[in-house]
């Protein structure tokens, strides 16, 4: 499975199957993507690679890497040491985003109040989808 930025300067490849697909409402993802919410897929280390030139990295907080294309600005991924270093690619950057349906909303306490959702998916406080609910 492959993904890319808008200008195609940065592309990446992911081995299947992915670990998870979740929608994140945290402020950091919201600001990085300039979008009310974003969906991303989790890919364990060693199961993905950049194709060609790697993207720029921005450290949004200690231990957190967020990447983007330096030419067109497309946000591509984030990775946190607190989440076992699993790579998270934004689902909308995948070549076939329709094949990645989210199963969970995380950081739901940060959801914008005017955003109304009716997908029936479970919600979770905080950003870590690997933790047990409650
Ligand atoms: Zn680009
Ligand atoms: Zn987030």
How much is the pLDDT for 128? 84
C-alpha of residue 95 to centroid of ligand 2, in Å: 21
As residues whose CB is below 5 A from the ion ligand 2, the structure lists: 24, 26, 29
C-alpha of residue 126 to centroid of ligand 1, in Å: 30
As residues whose CB is below 5 A from the ion ligand 1, the structure lists: 5, 7, 9, 69, 71-72
Rg of the chain on CA atoms, in Å: 14
pLDDT tens-digit profile of 57-70? 999 999 999 999 99
The residue ranges of every structural domain in the chain are: 2-110
Q: What is the pTM of this model?
A: 0.94
User: How many Cα neighbours within 13 Å face the side chain of 91?
Assistant: 20
Name the stretches of the chain with pLDDT < 50. Answer: none
Q: What are phi and psi of 50, to 5 degrees?
A: -75, 145
Fold of 2-110: 2.170.150
Interior angle at CA 86, CA 75 and CA 97, nearest 5: 45
Q: Running DSSP on this structure, what letter comes out for residue 1?
A: -
C-alpha of residue 53 to centroid of ligand 2, in Å: 25
Ligand nearest to the CA of 5: 1
Using DSSP's 3-state secondary structure scheme, residue 67 falls into strand
How much is the pLDDT for 129? 86
C-alpha of residue 120 to centroid of ligand 2, in Å: 20
C-alpha of residue 131 to centroid of ligand 1, in Å: 33
Contact 90, 79 (CB under 8 A): no
Distance of CA 117 to the CA centre of its chain: 19
How much is the pLDDT for 133? 58
Ligand nearest to the CA of 88: 2
């Amino acid at each position: 499975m492959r993904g890319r930025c808008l200008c195609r300067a940065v592309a990446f490849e992911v081995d299947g199957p992915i670990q998870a697909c979740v929608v994140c409402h945290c402020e950091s993802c919201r600001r990085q993507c300039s979008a009310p919410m974003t969906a991303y897929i989790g890919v364990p280390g060693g199961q993905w690679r950049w194709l060609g030139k790697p993207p720029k990295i921005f450290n949004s907080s200690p231990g957190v890497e967020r990447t983007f294309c330096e030419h067109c600005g497309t946000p591509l991924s984030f990775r946190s040491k607190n989440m076992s270093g699993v790579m998270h690619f934004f689902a909308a950057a995948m070549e076939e985003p329709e094949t990645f349906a989210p199963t969970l909303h995380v950081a739901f306490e940060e959801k914008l109040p005017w955003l109304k959702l009716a997908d029936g998916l479970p919600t979770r406080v905080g950003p870590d989808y690997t933790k047990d609910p409650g």
